[in-house]
């Protein structure tokens, strides 16, 4: 069962009737396994795609946002290596979807992409200037 909770002090409380019902089904004293994931921030996701668009418009190597996204996933290590039946290794890109990455993971990926852009894709671009422009977009 999955449901949304809010943190209050050192406890988690259900944030709605679905969660309340789920907790009622567990007996006092029962042990349960809990996985905590912070919901993704939609504005941060949109800011990431604004970053890709901004970078795409200010360089000549990547013609599409999709090509740039593929490159940043590879350059930041956001992939798995899969062995084919003949033993040949291939790269399998990981997803950045809301279902696959929580906010903390996405934030770490975003920061890696910012550094990659400033160090390798548009070398010399000050990280602070890039972040400021993206914050202005988000405002």
Interval 69-97: pLDDT, tens: 999 999 999 999 999 999 999 999 999 99
For the question of whether the overall pTM of this predicted structure is more than 0.85, the answer is no
In whole angstroms, how far apart are CA 31 and each of 26, 28, 98?
9, 9, 29
Q: What confidence tens digit (pLDDT) does each residue in 115-127 have?
A: 999 999 999 999 9
User: Residue 17 in 3-state DSSP?
Assistant: helix
Q: Is 82 in contact with 94 (CB distance < 8 Å)? A: no
């Amino acid at each position: 069962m999955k449901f949304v909770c809010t943190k209050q002090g050192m406890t988690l409380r259900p944030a709605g009737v679905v969660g309340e019902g789920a907790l009622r089904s567990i007996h006092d004293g029962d042990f349960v396994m809990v996985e905590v994931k912070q919901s993704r921030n939609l504005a941060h996701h949109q800011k990431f795609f604004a970053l890709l668009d901004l970078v795409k418009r200010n360089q000549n190597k990547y013609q599409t946002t999709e090509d740039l996204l593929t490159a940043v996933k590879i350059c930041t290590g956001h992939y798995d290596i899969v062995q084919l039946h003949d033993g040949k290794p291939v790269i399998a890109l990981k997803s950045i979807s809301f279902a696959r990455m929580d906010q903390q993971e996405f934030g770490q990926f975003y920061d890696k992409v910012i550094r990659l852009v400033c160090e390798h894709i548009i070398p010399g671009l000050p990280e602070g200037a890039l972040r400021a422009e993206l914050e202005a977009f988000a405002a």
